[in-house]
Chains A and B, each alone.
Chain A
C-alpha cells in the first residue's frame, strides 16, 4: 500500500466532512438553479421550437439561456475540482467501470444538453450503434462528454454532433462542431494533456487546463489488456470545426 496517499485521508477527516457537506450544499443550489432555468426556458413558447435569428429573440430569453450556460459551466468546474481533490487517476478515486449500453449513454448526455442547446439555437445530432455495449465508468464519461459539449458551444456556429462508434479495440466518442475550429493554443494544450512527462504544464496553461486535465485522467483510468484510453483535440471532422475525441479501450 502507498502510505502517503492514505495519510492524506487519515490526516483530515474533519476537512473531508466539511468539504462533503459544502459540496452537497453547492450541488443543491446548482440543481435548483439549472432546474428552474430549464423549466423557464421550456415554458417560453415559439423560440424553443424553431431557432430564429438571435436578434429576433426576446432579450430575456437570451439572458435565461446565458444563465443556464454559465450554471452548467459552474457545475462542470465543480465536478472537475472535486475529481481533482479526490485525486482522479489515483487508486483512491472511486472508479467504477461496468458494461453499459452506448444508446443509454447518448440518451443521458443528450438529456443533459438538450434544453441548453435548444435555447441557443444549436442543432444537436447524434450517430451511434444502438446495440453496442462497452465497459466504462458511466458517470465520468458523461461528465467528460457534457463538458466537451459545453465547450463546443463556445466554438460552434449552429451545429454540434456526438458520435460513438466501435473502432477495433477502442470505443471512439467524438464531439464535433461546425465552428472555425480550435485555436492553435488549444490544440497544443490538447496534445500536452496526454503527455505523461508534462504534468506541471498541463495545469499551468489556462482556464481550459482543468477540463483537459480531468478528461485526460478519466481517459487514462480506463485500461484494458495493456491498452489505455486517450483524448485528442482536432480540427476538421464531419462538421469541419473543432473535434474533441475520447478513445476508450
Chain B
C-alpha cells in the first residue's frame, strides 16, 4: 500500500488527453479550468452526446469527464456504452461520470458498462485529483487481469486476482468479486460460490448475495435463491439486478404471474434498459397481457434508438402484439422495418417465422401456409447458416402448425445431432413431434440423429487415442462441418488440435484453428469448464502469451459479430 501511495505523485496528469462532455457551458469552462490547474494542455469539449461521440471517434482520450444528464439525445450512460462497444476508448482510459446527485445507477448492480467512477457536482480540484489517482491505481492493479480476461484466459486471470489480494488490501473486495466472475466464466461455480461465501462472512454485500443466489438458482436451489433475492431487494430497493434475477427464479418455478409482477416493478424503477423491457414484453406476451407487452416493446424500440443495445427482438415482439390485436398490416410493416434496419439471414428468417405466426394466430391459414413454404425454401438453401436452437424450435413448431412436414423434421433432427447429449432438449424435441402427431416416428428420428453424432465423435476419439493425430484432425474437420454446433465435437476438435501442438510445438495455423473452434463454442455455450481449461493450455503453448489469443478472438468477432458476454 505504501508503495502505491508514493507512486501517486508520479502520474503526469498534464500530459494526458482530456474530453469534457457537458451541455452546460459554465461547467465546461469550470472543468477546463480545473484540468488546466492540473497541468493539462490537450482538452477537448463537447456540448452533447452526439458531439462527444464524434470526438471520441477521432481521438483516443486518456480521461473522459462526461455528464450523465445531457439534455436531449444520448445520456452519459449511452455515450459510455457506445464508446466501449465501438472500441473508441482504450482499456487504460479513465471514464468519470459526472452527475448532479447520488446516482441510482451506481448501486444498481448490473449496469453492464460501469464508468470507472461517479463524481457528484460541484466538483472541486481536490476531489477530481483524488478520483483520477484512485482510478489510475486501480487500473494498474487490474491491467494484467483485464488483459487475461480479454484473452479469455479465465483461469490465469483468476490466479492473478489471487496474487494481488494480499498486496492490495484496499482492493481486496474488488479483486474477490472479479475472481468469482472469472470462475463463473471458467465454468467453476463451486469456486465462485466459495468466494461469495467468504466475502459474505465479512459483510453483506448485495453483489455477493446476488452472485451466491444466482449460483444456487442454477444448482436447483431455486426457492432459497428466490428468498435471497427478495432479501437483497428488501435491503436496497434499487438493486435492479436482484429484480431481474428474482423474476427468473419465479419463472423457473413456473410462477409466471409473479415473475411478471417483479419485472414490471423493475421496469418502473429503471425503465431505460433494452434487455429488461424486452424480457417484460416477452413475459407479458406469454401471459397474453397485450397492453403491457405493447408498452414494453414500444419502449424497447424507443430507447434502442440511441443505444447500441438496440434489438430486433423488440420489433418481432411488437409485430406479435399487432397480430394479437388483429392488425396484421402494422405487424407486416414492423417486420419489414426490422429486416430493413437489421438485415442479415437470421433476421430475415426470424421475420418470416414471426410473419407465419401472426397469420396463423389471426386465422389467415392460407397466408400462414405461404410463409411456411417460403421458410422451407429458405432452409433448402444449404449455403445459409442454420439459426440458433431457440429459433429452430420456433420455426419447427410453426412449420408443423401450418402443415409443412419435411422441413421441420429436418430441423429437429439437426438440433438432435448438434446437441446429442442434452437430454432435457431431447424431451422438448419429442414434445414437438408428439404435438405434430408424429410421436413414434419422432422417437426413432431423435435416436438415429443422436447415434449419428455419437458415432462421428467416437471415431475422432478413437483416432486420437491411437495416436493417429493427423487423421483425427482431418476427421474432426469433417465432423465439425456436418455438426457445426455440437459442443462435444467442438471441444474434442480443439483438444485434438492442442494435443498435436503439444507434440509438434507451436504452429500458427493449427493454433488459430483451435482458437476459432473455441471462440465459436464459447459464443454458443458460454461458461464451460472445458473452454477455460483448453484456453489455458493454448495460452501456455503460444510464444507470446495472450497476444495470439486476443488477435484470433477479435478476428473471430470481426467475422461473426461480437461474442455475446453473458
Q: How far is the CB of B558 from chain A (nearest CB, A)?
A: 37
B142 interface hit (Cβ, 8 Å): no
* Chain B residues close to A by CB (< 8 Å): 1-2, 5, 24, 26-27, 30, 33-34, 69, 100-104, 106-107, 120-127, 129-130, 134, 169-173, 203, 230, 233-238, 265, 268-269
Q: How far is the CB of B209 from chain A (nearest CB, A)?
A: 14
A94 interface hit (Cβ, 8 Å): yes
Contact in complex: A91, B100 (CB < 8 Å): no
Known pairs A82-B101, A91-B235, A101-B170; A24 contacts B126 (CB<8 A) = no
A126 interface hit (Cβ, 8 Å): no
Q: How far is the CB of B18 from chain A (nearest CB, A)?
A: 17
CA of A193 to CA of B106, assembled, Å: 29
Contact in complex: B127, A6 (CB < 8 Å): no
- The listed residue (B103, B121, B127) touching A30 by CB distance below 8 A is B121
Q: How far is the CB of A86 from chain B (nearest CB, A)?
A: 8
- The listed residue (A95, A97, A110) touching B126 by CB distance below 8 A is A110
Could you list some 26 contacts between A and B, CB below 8 A?
A1-B230, A9-B269, A20-B100, A21-B69, A23-B100, A24-B69, A24-B100, A27-B100, A28-B24, A30-B122, A31-B26, A31-B122, A32-B30, A35-B30, A75-B122, A94-B236, A94-B238, A96-B107, A103-B5, A104-B134, A107-B126, A107-B130, A108-B126, A111-B125, A111-B126, A112-B126
Q: Closest residue to A142 on the B side, CB-wise?
A: B127
Contact in complex: A28, B100 (CB < 8 Å): yes
Q: How far is the CB of A35 from chain B (nearest CB, A)?
A: 4
Q: How far is the CB of A222 from chain B (nearest CB, A)?
A: 11
Contact in complex: A130, B5 (CB < 8 Å): yes
Known pairs A20-B69, A131-B1; A108 contacts B100 (CB<8 A) = no
* Chain A residues close to B by CB (< 8 Å): 1-2, 5-6, 9-10, 13, 20-21, 23-24, 26-32, 34-36, 38-39, 75, 82-83, 86, 90-92, 94-101, 103-104, 107-108, 110-112, 114, 130-131, 133, 135, 139-140, 224
Contact in complex: A27, B122 (CB < 8 Å): yes
Residues of the A chain whose Cβ atoms lie less than 8 Å from the Cβ of B106: 94, 96
Contact in complex: B172, A99 (CB < 8 Å): yes
Given A28-B24, A94-B107, A100-B170, 8 extra CB contacts under 8 A = A28-B27, A31-B27, A32-B26, A35-B124, A39-B33, A83-B102, A104-B134, A111-B129
Residues of the A chain whose Cβ atoms lie less than 8 Å from the Cβ of B103: 94
Contact in complex: A91, B236 (CB < 8 Å): yes
Q: How far is the CB of A243 from chain B (nearest CB, A)?
A: 24
Q: How far is the CB of A37 from chain B (nearest CB, A)?
A: 11
CA of A103 to CA of B8, assembled, Å: 12
Residues of the A chain whose Cβ atoms lie less than 8 Å from the Cβ of B234: 1-2, 91
Q: Closest residue to B268 on the A side, CB-wise?
A: A10
Please indicate which of the listed interface residues A27, A34, A95, A107 has the most CB atoms of chain B within 10 Å of its own CB. A27
Q: How far is the CB of B542 from chain A (nearest CB, A)?
A: 36
Contact in complex: B126, A31 (CB < 8 Å): no
Q: Closest residue to A39 on the B side, CB-wise?
A: B33
Known pairs A94-B238, A104-B134, A107-B130; A38 contacts B124 (CB<8 A) = yes
CA of A95 to CA of B102, assembled, Å: 9
Contact in complex: A111, B122 (CB < 8 Å): no
Residues of the A chain whose Cβ atoms lie less than 8 Å from the Cβ of B238: 92, 94
